[in-house]
Amino acid sequence: MLTVRELPPAEFSRLAHLPIGQARVLDPTQVVVLVVEDDGEIVATWAAFSVVHVDGLWIDPASRQRIGVTRRVVEGMRAALTARQVAEVVTITTAPEVATLAQKVGGTRIPGDLWCIRPSFEGGPLCLLPSRS
């Protein structure tokens, strides 16, 4: 019989041999793991955790050529993130200049796509992200 439940941190050791246990550090203060069990055997897992996104970079066209503006924005964002002890972020972009910026600050392309959902199953506008960030 299948059961679905949130796995208590005390049982996280049961995940060690599964893909989730090998893919990331399972810090119980940072991640929640749901499991499906079939007579006690874990047959499915799904995790939820926080990620910081940096998005929506916009500079007025008239100011884009101002010397050093981009560098100062990058430095400002780095300072804001460091002050919050954020060590890693992701960003998504459709703008080539932002992709170039991401690479210049050491970003690496993730070979995949970002998907979004509203967990409440409600209708309405979905998952707004700026189109040129």
Partner 1 sequence: MSLPMPLVVRELPAEEWHRLTGVGHFADPTFPIPSPASAAILAVEEPDGTIVGYWWAFTSVHVEPLWIAEAHRHRTGLVRRLWRAMGELLGRSGVSHAYAIIAQAEAPTIVSQATRLGFQRVPGDLYFIRVGSDADGPGTPAG
Which residues from 92-131 bind partner 1, rule CB under 8 A?
92-94, 99, 102-121, 125-131
In Å, how far from its chain's centre is CA 16?
22
Residue 125's SS3 state is: coil
CB of 124 to partner 1, least distance (A): 10
CB of 46 to partner 1, least distance (A): 5
Residue 39: Cβ-neighbour burial (10 angstroms; 0-12, 13-18, 19+): exposed
CA dist list (Å): 5 to 2, 15, 38, 73, 101: 10, 14, 12, 44, 42
Which residues from 56-75 bind partner 1, rule CB under 8 A?
56-60, 62-63, 66-69, 71-75
CB of 12 to partner 1, least distance (A): 15
Handedness of CA 61, 79, 106, 92 (dihedral sign): negative
Q: Is 91 in the site for partner 1 (CB under 8 A)?
A: yes
Q: Encoding tokens for residue 58? A: 């916009």
Q: Do 80 and 72 meet the contact criterion of CB atoms below 8 Å apart?
A: no
Which residues from 20-49 bind partner 1, rule CB under 8 A?
20, 23, 32, 34, 36, 38, 42-49
Quick one: which of 19, 29, 39, 40 contacts partner 1 (CB under 8 A)?
Answer: 19
CB of 103 to partner 1, least distance (A): 7
Quick one: which of 11, 27, 30, 55 contacts partner 1 (CB under 8 A)?
Answer: 55
Nearer to partner 1, 10 or 64 (CB): 64
